[in-house]
Amino acid sequence: MKAAVVHDFNAPPRFGDFITPVAEPGETIIQVRAAALSQLVKAQASGRHYSSGKTLPLVPGVDGVGLLPDGRRVYFAFPRKLFGSMAQTSVVQRENCVDIPDDVDDVTAAAIANPGMSSWAALLDRAKFVPGETVLINGATGVSGRLAIQIAKHLGAAKVIATGRNKQTILGLEALGADITIPLDLPADALKDAFREAFHQHQASVVLDYLWGPSAECLLHCATGNAGHLGEPQIRFVQIGSLTGNNISLPGSLLRSSGLELMGSGLGSVSHAGLVRAVGGVLRAVGSAGLSIATEAVPLDAVQSTWQREGASRLVFTL
């Protein structure tokens, strides 16, 4: 079969031939129609992600859209090792497939699944979000963050607070549903005041963090107010991405003096079934919630020349 093939972790995949998979017990063959290029896929294909394989050659891609042997069109995820989604044929466990609504096209389904799932699973599977709560999204200007605003509102958030690098990047977030926006380039004291107001005045009880690094450290330090005998309000802080740093300073006293509950959301902290279930929720909400994502469809045989392309649109390889 034809596929995008990683021969070297330090080079883009090349379009070429790869062995066709054969389904084992519990698996199903997928005739692939579309597969999106996400930061996760890039990191895995470069050998840098904690879930990266070590065996080469391999076909990259963690999910996609395709046809089952009976002709059903499905979103699928977590292909068998080496047989990623960026190929004519992939192979997955049967339970890692979910039907796609008729009003969602292949490219949209492939593009929106991973970034939409990041907030859907973080809110429902990890934070146990309850409608009526206030959600703070740290790093809301990227593809995942912008979808997180829309998804939080769709799931019933009373208020959404969104942060971005500066005043320019947060323009337009109100139109997506953000009630309050906070530029992260505010002077240090002003930023701390804005974060404290988010927790203590607007009562943000769930934080979705796509950044980590300095802004997350500042948020965590602002979540405590020394409430004495009343105790601090519960704040579920869900770590999703580390775009601005992998490490922070976290004094133990901060946890003792606050209602903070720290958790992550991603591969390992949520089951494969839970992540696929989250994608199913996102796909069903595309129409009712008006979820959208900018996409660029490219034939898979152009994978080598487009792999490093950057832009506002999510790149989707089609077959």
Mean pLDDT of 109-123: 97
- Residue 269 in any domain: the answer is no
More confident position, 187 or 40: 187
Domain shared by 71 and 209, yes or no: no
Domain shared by 159 and 249, yes or no: yes
> Tens of pLDDT along 43-81?
888 877 777 677 899 999 999 999 999 999 999 999 999
- Supply the mean pLDDT for the chain: 94
Confidence of residue 230 (pLDDT cuts 50, 70, 90): low
- pTM to 2 decimal places: 0.92
Domain shared by 202 and 295, yes or no: no
- Residue 62 in any domain: the answer is yes
Mean pLDDT of 216-233: 80
For the chain, the domain total comes to 2
Confidence of residue 224 (pLDDT cuts 50, 70, 90): confident
Mean pLDDT of 105-118: 97
Domain shared by 256 and 129, yes or no: yes
CB 92 within 8 A of CB 42: no
Domain assignment of residue 228, given as a range? 118-264
What pLDDT is stored for residue 193 in this prediction?
Answer: 97
What pLDDT is stored for residue 227 in this prediction?
Answer: 59
Shortest CA distance to 162 belongs to which of 190, 188, 195? 195
Q: What angle do CA 196, 200, 203 make, to 5 degrees?
A: 115
Domain shared by 44 and 138, yes or no: no
Distances, alpha carbon 189 to alpha carbons 147, 184, 218, in Å:
29, 11, 10
* Residues whose CB falls within 8 Å of the CB of residue 211, separated by 6 or more in sequence, listed in order: 138, 139, 241, 242, 243, 244, 245
What pLDDT is stored for residue 204 in this prediction?
Answer: 97
Domain shared by 253 and 128, yes or no: yes
CB 147 within 8 A of CB 155: no
What pLDDT is stored for residue 162 in this prediction?
Answer: 98
State the Cα–Cα distance between residues 278 and 116, nearest whole angstrom.
8
> Tens of pLDDT along 257-288?
889 999 999 988 999 999 999 999 999 999 99
- Residue 37 in any domain: the answer is yes
Confidence of residue 226 (pLDDT cuts 50, 70, 90): low
Q: Which structure tokens are listed for 106?
A: 């292949």
Domain shared by 219 and 103, yes or no: no
Checking phi first, is residue 79 left (phi over 0); if not, alpha (psi -120 to 50) or beta? beta
What pLDDT is stored for residue 206 in this prediction?
Answer: 98
What pLDDT is stored for residue 228 in this prediction?
Answer: 60
Shortest CA distance to 253 belongs to which of 218, 226, 283? 226
- Residue 271 in any domain: the answer is no
What pLDDT is stored for residue 233 in this prediction?
Answer: 83
Q: Which structure tokens are listed for 249?
A: 């300073």
Domain shared by 125 and 204, yes or no: yes
List the CATH number of the domain containing 83: 3.90.180.10
CB 289 within 8 A of CB 308: no
Strand-pair partners of 163: 182
- Residue 274 in any domain: the answer is no
Domain shared by 160 and 244, yes or no: yes
> Tens of pLDDT along 168-216?
999 999 999 999 999 999 999 999 999 999 999 999 999 999 999 999 9
- Residue 294 in any domain: the answer is yes
The 10 Å CB-count burial string (b at 16+, else e) for 180-192 is bbbbbebeeeebe
Confidence of residue 240 (pLDDT cuts 50, 70, 90): very high
Domain shared by 207 and 312, yes or no: no
Number of H helices, E strands in the chain: 9, 15
What pLDDT is stored for residue 164 in this prediction?
Answer: 97
Domain shared by 95 and 130, yes or no: no
What pLDDT is stored for residue 267 in this prediction?
Answer: 87
Mean pLDDT of 125-137: 98
The 10 Å CB-count burial string (b at 16+, else e) for 2-41 is ebbbbeeeeebbbbeebeebeeeeebbbbebbbbbbbebb
Q: Which structure tokens are listed for 263?
A: 């958790």
Domain shared by 172 and 63, yes or no: no
Mean pLDDT of 152-171: 96
